[in-house]
Amino acid sequence: MSSAILNLSWEQRRKLTGLLFVTPTVAFVMVFFIVPLIMTVYMSFHDWPLFGERAFTGLENYQELSNDRQYRKSLDFTFRYTVLVTPPIFILGFILASLVRRNIPYIGIFRTIFFLPVVIGLGVSSLLWVWMLDDRIGVFNKILLDFNLVPKAQLFLGRPNTAMNVVILSVVWKTVGFTMILLLAGLQAIPDELYESAEVDGAGYFRKLVYITLPLMRRFIALALILSVIGSVLSFDQFYIMTRGGPRNSTISIVYWIFNNSFTYFKMGYGAAMSIVLLGILVALTGAQLYVLREKE
């Protein structure tokens, strides 16, 4: 009913309004994500101390990477940690999800309890565990000694091997609930009829697991694994708080080494170069995640 011109201007106003609505968000993302991303690349080509002169150094930071033994050690350590921590999180997460799958009375309480540690910060949970693991006042040594399971108090965090194991224990406690919930969603998406007809055919637990459960929830499994791997590759809090990188610098993760270089030695250009490598690893992992999730459509 209105004239074409008026109609057009209403449309244009809608367009402008929409643009205005998203402007603050887009500005935030630009300033705090995109600009820093570009700056990371830029800084990685510079000698960039916190104070004082910055100098363009080309690829020098990247060349330094190949001579940095601790960097190699940290990459190696982070990789080893990821490989070791992922299976227990996944397997325990799967067991928990199977245990809480059916809606039997009070099951919600158990789901909640297993999930509770996820809402506690990793930093705070690490503070809790470092105290429980202490050789003098820690409860673990107290229990082990009371039951005569060890001859004397153990320095759990004092030896590289046990340090790795107890950190893994604490992280499993803290994060397994998240994996449980993802896998629970996967389990609940499988129709009961499939199991019923398999049972009629005489299939036992393992055949049902291999032929029905695992294939049908492979997207959830892949998602749980990838998210868990990403979390492990980015680990920092647990090592900074529980082991302080020790003993003998054996537990310095890659983020920890970036942190030390950038904010302790203030070699920010070098830290930026390492961040680029880290970013590459993570983009590959997230790419895998998106690929897995895409499959459905």
Partner 1 sequence: MAAPSLQADPNAASQQHIRRMRRRALLALRYVILIALALLFLFPILWSFINSIKLPAEALAVPPTYLPSEISLQNYEELTTYGKIGIAQHVYNSAIVALITVAGSIVLSTLGGYGFARFDFPLKNVLFILVLSTLMIPFQSILIPLFVMIVQVDLHDTLFGLALVYITFQLPFGIFLMRNSFLAVPHEIEESALLDGCSSLSILYRLMLRLVLPGIVTVAIYAFINSWNEFLAALIFMSDQDNFTLPVFLTTIRYGIWGDVNWGALQAGVIVTIIPSLGIFLALQRYYMDGLMGGAVKN
**Beta carbon of residue 36, minimum distance to partner 1 (angstroms, whole number):** 4
Give me the phi and psi of 138, to 5 degrees please.
Answer: -75, 145
Find the binding residues for partner 1 in span 214-233 (CB under 8 A): 220, 223, 227, 230
- Exactly one of 6, 8, 34, 210 binds partner 1 (CB under 8 A); that residue is 34
Is residue 35 near partner 1 by the rule CB under 8 A?
Answer: yes
Q: Please tell me the distance from the alpha carbon of residue 273 to that of residue 270, in angstroms, as a whole number.
A: 5
Minimum distance of partner 1 from residue 261's CB (angstroms): 9
Which amino acid is present at 117?
Answer: P
At 72, the amino acid letter reads R
Residues 42-71, mask of contacts with partner 1 (x by CB under 8 A) = -x----------------------------
For partner 1, the closer CB: 70 or 115: 115
Residues 273-292 that bind partner 1 (CB under 8 A): 275-276, 278-279, 282-283, 286-287
Instruction: Count the helix, strand and coil residues of the chain and give each as a percent rounded to the nearest 5.
Output: 75, 0, 25
Contacts by 256-264 with C-beta closer than 8 Å and gap 24+?
A: 256/74, 257/70, 257/71, 257/74
Q: How far apart are CA 188 and CA 97, in angstroms?
A: 10
- By CB under 8 A, tell whether 1 contacts partner 1: no
Q: How far is the CB of 185 from partner 1 (least distance, A)?
A: 6
The footprint of partner 1 on residues 183-202 (CB under 8 A) is: 185
Name the minimum Å distance from CB 144 to partner 1: 11
Please say which residue, 85 or 242, places its beta carbon nearer to partner 1. 242
CB of 82 to partner 1, least distance (A): 14
Cα gap 67→59, rounded to integer Å: 13
Please report how many Cα atoms fall inside a 13 Å half-sphere around the Cα of residue 142, on the Cβ side. 8
Q: Does 203 bind partner 1 (CB under 8 A)?
A: no
Q: For partner 1, which residue of 2, 5, 52, 136 counts as binding (CB under 8 A)?
A: 136
Determine how many CB atoms are found less than 10 A away from the CB of residue 97: 25
Stretch that binds partner 1, among 16-24, 65-73, 191-199, 203-211 (CB under 8 A): 16-24
Site membership for partner 1, residue 150 (CB under 8 A): no
| DSSP per position, 241-259 | IIITT-STTTT--HHHHHH
Both tokens of 121, joined, read 């910060």
Smallest separation (angstroms) from partner 1 to the CB of 128: 5
Amino acid at 249: N
